[in-house]
Amino acid sequence: MSIRTANEECLRRIQQGAAVWTGVRQAREVVPGMDEHTVLHAGPPVAWAQMCGPMRGAIIGASMFEGWAKTPEEAVALAERGALRFDSGHHHHCIGPMSGIITPSMQVNVVRNEPFGVDTYSTLYMGIGKVLRHGAYDETVMAKLRWMNHELAPMLAAALQEAGGIDIKAIVAQAVQMGDEMHNRNKASNPLLLARLAPHLVSVAERADAIRALKFIDEAGHFILNMVMAGCKGILDAASGIDDCTLVTAIARNGHETGIRVSGLGDRWFTAPAPMIEGVYFPGFGPQDANPDLGDSAITETIGLGSLAMAGAPAVVEYVGGTPQFALETTMKMYEITAGENQAFKLPSLNFRGTPLGIDIRKVVQTGITPVINTGIACRRPGVGQIGAGLTAVPMACFEQALEAFAAQRAVAA
């Protein structure tokens, strides 16, 4: 197949992909390969010895949530003696923001790409502040985790069943016209989700439980993010494994390395050290507190959201830094390294042009332009949480390695 034909097929699959939030289930029941003591994490594979603080903290919290360990020390001992089976969530149809830790007892969102028969999973978004994904595991975090898993999740599952699912892609399409870029700004999409969900939550839950859930989802601000991430992955996974295709199907960071996957190169990761983030810090924090780039959330950029959709989200610069002009220029630059435009995500300010879609490793290497990522900044110390937000980029080395591998593969095939 010609590269052009392969890339067009990849774009076609992405454009035709769907993302419907169909349910909430326990990970061990639905996630493939989720055996006992399995611990899935964000980004490409990484060993305990290389894991960053927030990821280690989240694993400690998850081990206590599972009952594998009673204390943080016991959890660390388990990890150190190899009793935990670590793997990248990406290898199990899973995805998660920041440390992205998923263990068997956790409840996960199920998001379906029906045209391609793909289900993808993500944990429930816990809110901001002290949360598991940032490596916090004190009793307030553990109590919230138990409430979300034992009370909120069954409510959501029942509400979704009554609703017949909620179309996440449709909400994103609308929110992109309302100034959300979906990675760091979900100010439109989160209330849109709540409006769809609320009548069903009220219908299936006791009054006090429904009120608590409604307030939690509203105040969490980004509750929809985890369903969006699962939706993006489900659509991109269906566009993976196309021979001769040079388009990127995943960008993910584990806090140690940033990795990309390319449709024509199967499940391989092309990695480089995770960069630091240039950004705006919350009061009391600075660059010395920051963890390198972390989390699977750059899957949004991979599908034409996040920094690629910034031109339609000028207000996000108040959060990640920069100016509205910079936001516009970022999107315009991303058109130079992409193969198409996302027909579902149209930017009114660009006369309803679709967002840049399909990062082409050839164009990245040729132009020297690397994909920008809008992202949160995690504290390098476990348990502190988010300390800012800003901008970073996928290291050029990832694309160079991928392009070399692509050339080698073509040479073998020829």
Binders of its own copies among residues 350 to 369 (CB under 8 A) are 350-352
Supply the minimum distance, in Å, between the C-beta of residue 349 and its own copies: 5
User: Rule CB under 8 A: is residue 127 a binding residue for its own copies?
Assistant: no
- Closest CB to its own copies among residues 202, 276: 202
Residue 258, H or E segment: strand 257-262
| CA atoms of 277 and 261, how far apart (whole Å) | 21
| CA atoms of 41 and 35, how far apart (whole Å) | 14
CA dihedral over 28, 32, 37, 40, signed as positive or negative: negative
Supply the minimum distance, in Å, between the C-beta of residue 78 and its own copies: 41
As beta bridge partners, residue 107 has 26
Out of 194, 369, 393, 397, which residue is the one contacting its own copies (CB under 8 A)? 194
User: Rule CB under 8 A: is residue 128 a binding residue for its own copies?
Assistant: no
- Closest CB to its own copies among residues 202, 280: 202
In the chain, the amino acid numbered 47 is A
Residue in the block written with tokens 């929110």: 175
User: Rule CB under 8 A: is residue 71 a binding residue for its own copies?
Assistant: no
User: Rule CB under 8 A: is residue 164 a binding residue for its own copies?
Assistant: no
In the chain, the amino acid numbered 35 is D
SS3 assignment, position 340: strand
Say how many residues make up the chain.
Answer: 414
Out of 45, 127, 324, 369, which residue is the one contacting its own copies (CB under 8 A)? 324
Supply the minimum distance, in Å, between the C-beta of residue 209 and its own copies: 10
- Per CB under 8 A, which region of 7-15, 121-129, 180-188, 374-382 contacts its own copies? 180-188
- Rg of the chain over Cα atoms, rounded to whole angstroms, equals 20
Binders of its own copies among residues 202 to 241 (CB under 8 A) are 202-203, 207, 210-211, 214-215, 218
* 54 within 8 A of 291, measured Cβ to Cβ: yes
* 294 within 8 A of 255, measured Cβ to Cβ: yes
- Per CB under 8 A, which region of 49-57, 238-246, 343-351, 365-373 contacts its own copies? 343-351
Supply the minimum distance, in Å, between the C-beta of residue 300 and its own copies: 18
* 204 within 8 A of 177, measured Cβ to Cβ: no
Give residues in contact with its own copies (CB under 8 A).
174, 177-180, 187-188, 190-192, 194-196, 198-199, 202-203, 207, 210-211, 214-215, 218, 314-315, 317-318, 323-325, 348-352
